[in-house]
Structure 1
Amino acid sequence: MVLDNPADLVRLLVIAAIIYPALVMILRVSGKRTLSKLNAFDFVVTVALGSTLATILLSRNVSLLEGILALSLLVALQYAAALLAVRWPPSQQLLKARPTMLLRNGQLRKQTLRSARVAESEIRQAARSQGAGDLGDLAAVVLETDGSLSVITRSQLGDGSTLSDVRDEGR
């Protein structure tokens, strides 16, 4: 069962040659936000796009036009959600997680680390990657919505305004 029908291969080649540039064009038109670092919402859209693309390529039951429409709809919904989050900030609570304080003023928030499923060694690694040799020199380590760790040293803290939207359960 290496090759059931040569026409299926030709269909796959033609569809792929059309749908891939169409997807690239749709993503370019939608803007940089669609291709940004992934938070949970962006990840869902990315997985849905991949699944839809695979279905378009491999299913004879999905026409090319239906496939392009499905991809366009997913990107348009992601664009609308991002626009909503920017124009109406309360919607961010529904669409995005808030960043979480894992370390404040050199003190690890052990309960927060557990609930966020972050190991202390990951905090130390993030500190080292920023050139910090002592956790006590850190003002904050924040688990961002995309899963990355932001490290702010005491000398970089300034007025701390960048931490205003961070969930700080240890206060």
Structure 2
Amino acid sequence: METVIRIVILYTVIIAGLRILGKREFGQLSPAELVTLLIVPEIVSPALVRDDPSLTNAIVGTTTLFSLVFVVSLLMHHVRPLETAISSSPTLLVSDGRFLAENMNKERISPDEIFTEMRKVGLYELAQVRWVVLETDGKLSVIPREGAGGHASGESSSSVGGG
């Protein structure tokens, strides 16, 4: 029964921490947020398997981690050079119906991945595309040329490999 109580307490602390950090879908996690979610199990596991007899270290560790993420996100929001240093910027992969091979190679995005996203918005020829952008969250945005057809939104947002 002690294990159940420990899990309930740690679950509550983690959920509270995630709520404080703000809403964001898991597919839209920044690298810092992903690292945070990967570190949490390492912090709380000793308390769950009773290697650490108290919950205090797990709670303090988790709270410290979430506080660090919160402070860094505030600083990134207010200090532009820090945001630039930590976050990536969008990368143009297609411009006016032409692949930008150097950018595609740098981001490790294949033409097949781009064509997949184009089909999702109803485009079947590269000539129909004004831009394809690899967004900072790893998703591809497909922007059709005017009059090229496609869905009303004109944008696709599927997560792909690359950075």
TM range (shorter): 0.7 to 0.9
- 2:85 counterpart of 1:94: yes
Query: How many angstroms does 1:59 deviate by?
Result: 4.4
- CA distance change for structure 1 residues 145 and 55 in 2, over 3 Å: closer, same or farther? farther
Deviation beyond 3 Å, 4+ runs, structure 1: 33-36
Higher helix proportion: 1
Q: Using the alignment, how far apart are the partners of 1:145 and 1:56 within structure 2?
A: 35
Spell out the pairing of 1:66-145 with structure 2 (5 A cutoff): 66-145=57-136
Checking the alignment, whether the CA contact within 8 Å between 1:34 and 1:78 is kept in structure 2 is no
Query: How many angstroms does 1:127 deviate by?
Result: 0.8
Q: Which of residues 34, 39, 42 is equivalent to 1:48?
A: 39
- CA distance change for structure 1 residues 56 and 105 in 2, over 3 Å: closer, same or farther? farther
Higher alpha-carbon Rg: 1
TM-score, L = length of structure 1? 0.77
Q: Using the alignment, how far apart are the partners of 2:98 and 2:131 within structure 1?
A: 9
1:149-171 Cα shifts (integer Å, max 9, x gaps): 11111239xxxxxxxxxxxxxxx
Query: How many angstroms does 1:58 deviate by?
Result: 2.3
**Aligned partner letter, 1:19:** L
CA RMSD of aligned residues (A): 2.1
Q: Percent identity?
A: 27
Q: Using the alignment, how far apart are the partners of 1:50 and 1:139 within structure 2?
A: 43
- CA distance change for structure 1 residues 56 and 93 in 2, over 3 Å: closer, same or farther? farther
The aligned length equals: 147
TM-score, L = length of structure 2? 0.80
Spell out the pairing of 1:145-160 with structure 2 (5 A cutoff): 145-155=136-146
Q: Using the alignment, how far apart are the partners of 1:139 and 1:100 within structure 2?
A: 14
Q: Using the alignment, how far apart are the partners of 1:56 and 1:35 within structure 2?
A: 25
Q: Using the alignment, how far apart are the partners of 1:153 and 1:62 within structure 2?
A: 59
List runs of 5+ in structure 2 lacking aligned partners: 148-163
2:29 corresponding residue in structure 1: 38
List runs of 5+ in structure 1 lacking aligned partners: 1-9, 157-171
**Aligned partner letter, 1:42:** E
Q: Using the alignment, how far apart are the partners of 1:63 and 1:87 within structure 2?
A: 38
